[in-house]
Structure 1
Amino acid sequence: MSTIHASATIHPQAVIEDGARIGPDCHIGPFCVVGAEVVLDAGVRLDSHVVVSGQTSIGANTQVHPFAVLGGIPQDLKFGGEKTRLEIGARCRIREHVTMNPGTAGGGGVTRVGDDGLFMAGCHVAHDCMVGDHVILVNNAALAGHCQIGNGAIIGGLSGVHQFVRVGEGAIIGAVTMVTADVIPHALVQGPRGVLDGLNLVGLKRKGVARSDITALRAALQMLKQGEGAFQDRARRLRDDTDSDYVRQIVEFVLADSDRGFLTP
């Protein structure tokens, strides 16, 4: 039997499969379909014509607009019907025609989307992605499988992120950009084949980052661009020469495991 809180509002033309768990103050509009293993936390709103299936959980006060499909099986030929999950955080705004897939056994079994995200119309989050908090995917942006997107990153409209790519915290990807390698935190990437084109200065200033840290980031980017040795060697020298937490964040990102290499200055 489904567990539906007494305060939830369910339109009579919605389909709630046996086993679904619907929290307090949820609103499920007409022609929505909610699967048997779905969990909706308090205040979740499915406007209309939304399909939520599989082992999918949606955090409190997230709103899903019409024709979004959440939890449909991964678009991965290796997927064999195994039980995997999609976890969506609180207070997300998921617009029309967005698709998000659960994980696969080979990728850890879970796709995870953080809190307070904005996913504009037509976006796609593929299997086994890890998406941070306050992330924005602009219209028709697409994440391939196993991507990692840091907190506060923005992926521009009609852009694509290659499988296994990491995008660091606070980075911004310009519109109509193909990203095939890792993007360091707070970077600006643009161009048909994405190139590292500087820092996300607008985002840093909006966050109120101190001028001293922005100056340190600029110097760090210059050192990564023109210093001696390999990219990782330059990053190690930065680690020993900086007092800025923002620069250390870049260093840790560069020295972490990477499956795709890096977009370099």
Structure 2
Amino acid sequence: MSDSTNNNPEASGQIPNSNPKNWFASWFNSPYYHILYKERNYREAQLFMDNLTHYLNLPEKAKVLDLACGKGRHAIYLNQLGFNVVGADLSENSILEAQKNSNETLHFQVHDMRETFEDKFDAIFNLFTSFGYFENDEDNLTTLKAIKESLTEYGFAVIDFMNVTNVLNTLVPEEVKTVDEIDFHIKRYLKDGHIYKEIDFEDQGQKFHFTEKVKALTLKDFEEMMEEAGIFLLDIFGDYKLKKFHKTESERLIMIFK
């Protein structure tokens, strides 16, 4: 499912409020977000989860947090693998949808990723570029610290981010994507250290405009933040098969830390 900004910088958002700067508040709660990104490769996502949990060698019934879980597809699959899973997201609409799949070992809640959890987790997964959406860069460091504080003593965390170098080298500036008879006009560009994605479309006689904005964080940026947060970076991979990371060629930047 490579969700590079060429097709889908997938993330799950922050608390809806009146601040217009928080674009993710309205976009991630919009039904059009899920229409535009409906054709995702679920099998590839499942293989990634298989590879990741095998690599981490998580204990049976380990407590796993899917941080920025959206509608919960990865949390649901992790639960099917036998783990005790919590899915957390700031989109209330997504959590309401995800909660339809709740059971004794699968729970969902609205949560701001900048805040520490009361519970401690054996593993925390932040998947498919669900990071770097805050207006204030300090919030990225705050999020890393919150992840660290929410881990058990022997727990692992994973951030799966886009490989910015590869994304910028292959960026498609403009395209039209038609889904459910809606023509989404998409523009992409780099500005002020962020990758922007402008989305314009019409539906039922009404015009819509949304903007996605992701901080163009490189491995070096993450390393500096992790050092400041007191996080130990254990391993780095470049795709969902957990192949070695190459700065220019890899589609993903997958970081394992504790």
Bigger Rg, which one: 1
**TM-score over 0.5 for the pair:** no
| TM-score normalised according to structure 2 size | 0.23
Relative contact order higher in (CA < 8 Å, ≥ 6 apart): 2
More strand by share: 2
| TM-score normalised according to structure 1 size | 0.23
